[in-house]
């Protein structure tokens, strides 16, 4: 059954005392332990919340200091993680038993209370703590549109520890309007093109350069090849250390890129992020194995983070998206004179080749809705200046849209758990 709610997340830092810090740290530690206990018990046996909870609840309560409600939430978190592993395995991906290492803990309306004085009360392993929300001084911070609105209600939230600070990812939801409910599979689409020169480019002209990543992947590859050729035990140890550094670096780059894509979708109020089908991306881009892995990982990170914002992530066929003119639709090899340039030989429009491809990818998803029985065909593509429909209908954004978002902090960016 389709979700009848629009969901958003607002992130704010908490102002905590040393005593509160110790309680929150202990709660996070016990939460991770409780989730792991539940996952260990349910792995290979069940994955539905209704099955994992009665199976593991008593054990979690007996072996942790979690409250009864947090013990229930821990079994639900384990069930969700196991379900994700099963889904990845069904797509021919490796999926081992989940492990819980992220410094986070889930809260719901029973374990967390927001107050009108911009403080929050949180359950811990001992007692409740009440902390001020470190909101922007100005009243126009993006969090205010949720905190001060009667149409948004608080739902499940996540506390995250990072670099000595604590951040509360407050979940909000509101009922969909009749229009939103009737176009659940439609809405505004953000197109995304992946490549070598630019790791990611969106239909709203957000560019994330891939040059640094490409250079460093090549350097890592050269170092790896040299160490493998040496073949000594010392070289093998150095290779393992180098591979670990490489993986951490690449994941950091992909983390920043995925945050940027989701932030762009949030800023332009997109309901769907459309990528090209990744199956043949290595052939299309001439990417190395490392790049292909990076593309896949970036997609999965965006999929995870966008889901937390209520934004769907889809793939569409990639045929001719790099050679088709996004303005007039003419497709020809000659339209792509270089890797970076697009010049239509028919209408003579010019654009960055990756930006042209991003618009084509997004519009392909929009057009697909016109043939789908599950959708109304009432979709539009998000551009930097406005939205466009398949029949050429253009709606410009209100004056000041760009300036408004330039002067405001980025929208919430979910962090992966586990």
Helix axes 18-42, 49-63, angle to 10 degrees: 130
Q: With cut-offs at 50, 70 and 90, classify the pLDDT of residue 297.
A: confident
Whole-number percent of the chain with pLDDT over 90: 32
Instruction: Report the first-to-last Cα separation within the chain, whole angstroms.
Output: 28
204 near 383, Cβ under 8 Å?
Answer: yes
Q: DSSP assignment, residue 150?
A: S
pLDDT tens for 87-136 read 767 665 566 788 888 889 999 999 999 999 999 999 999 999 999 999 87
61 near 69, Cβ under 8 Å?
Answer: no
379 near 365, Cβ under 8 Å?
Answer: yes
Q: What pLDDT is recorded for position 310?
A: 72
Phi, psi of 161 (to 5 degrees): -95, 130
311 near 272, Cβ under 8 Å?
Answer: yes
pLDDT tens for 75-86 read 999 998 888 788
Strands 129-134 and 104-107: unpaired
């Amino acid at each position: 059954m389709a979700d009848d709610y629009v969901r958003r997340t607002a992130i704010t830092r908490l102002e905590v005392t040393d005593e509160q810090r110790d309680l929150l740290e202990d709660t996070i530690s016990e939460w991770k332990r409780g989730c792991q206990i539940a996952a260990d018990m349910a792995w290979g046996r069940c994955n539905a919340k209704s099955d994992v909870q009665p199976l593991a609840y008593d054990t979690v309560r007996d072996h942790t200091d979690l409250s009864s409600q947090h013990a229930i939430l821990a079994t639900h978190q384990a069930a969700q993680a196991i379900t994700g592993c099963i889904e990845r395995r069904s797509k021919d991906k490796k999926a081992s038993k989940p492990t819980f290492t992220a410094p986070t803990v889930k809260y719901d309306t029973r374990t967390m209370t927001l107050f009108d004085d911009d403080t929050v009360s949180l359950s811990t392993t001992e007692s409740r703590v009440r902390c001020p929300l470190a909101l922007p001084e100005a009243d126009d911070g993006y969090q205010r549109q949720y905190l001060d609105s009667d149409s948004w209600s608080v739902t499940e939230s996540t506390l995250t520890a990072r670099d000595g600070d604590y951040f509360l990812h407050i979940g909000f939801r509101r009922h969909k309007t009749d229009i939103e409910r009737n176009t659940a599979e439609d809405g505004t689409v953000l197109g995304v093109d992946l490549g070598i020169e630019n790791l990611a480019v969106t239909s709203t002209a957000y560019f994330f350069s891939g040059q640094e990543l490409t250079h460093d992947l090549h350097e890592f590859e050269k170092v790896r090849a040299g160490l493998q050729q040496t073949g000594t035990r010392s070289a093998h140890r150095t290779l393992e250390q180098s591979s670990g550094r490489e993986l951490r670096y690449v994941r950091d780059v992909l983390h920043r890129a995925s945050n940027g894509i989701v932030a762009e979708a949030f800023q332009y109020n997109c309901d769907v992020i459309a990528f090209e089908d990744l199956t043949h991306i290595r052939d299309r881009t001439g990417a190395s194995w490392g790049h292909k892995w990076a593309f896949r990982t970036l997609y999965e990170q965006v999929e995870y983070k966008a889901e937390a914002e209520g934004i769907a992530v889809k793939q569409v066929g990639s045929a001719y998206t790099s050679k088709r003119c996004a303005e007039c639709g003419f497709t020809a090899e000659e339209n792509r004179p270089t890797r970076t340039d697009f010049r239509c030989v028919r209408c003579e429009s010019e654009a960055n080749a990756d930006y042209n491809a991003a618009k084509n990818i997004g519009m392909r998803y929009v057009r697909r809705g016109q043939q789908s029985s599950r959708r109304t065909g009432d979709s539009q593509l998000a551009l930097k200046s406005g939205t466009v429909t398949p029949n050429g209908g253009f709606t410009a954004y209100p004056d000041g849209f760009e300036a408004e978002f330039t002067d405001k902090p980025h929208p919430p960016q979910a962090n992966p758990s586990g």
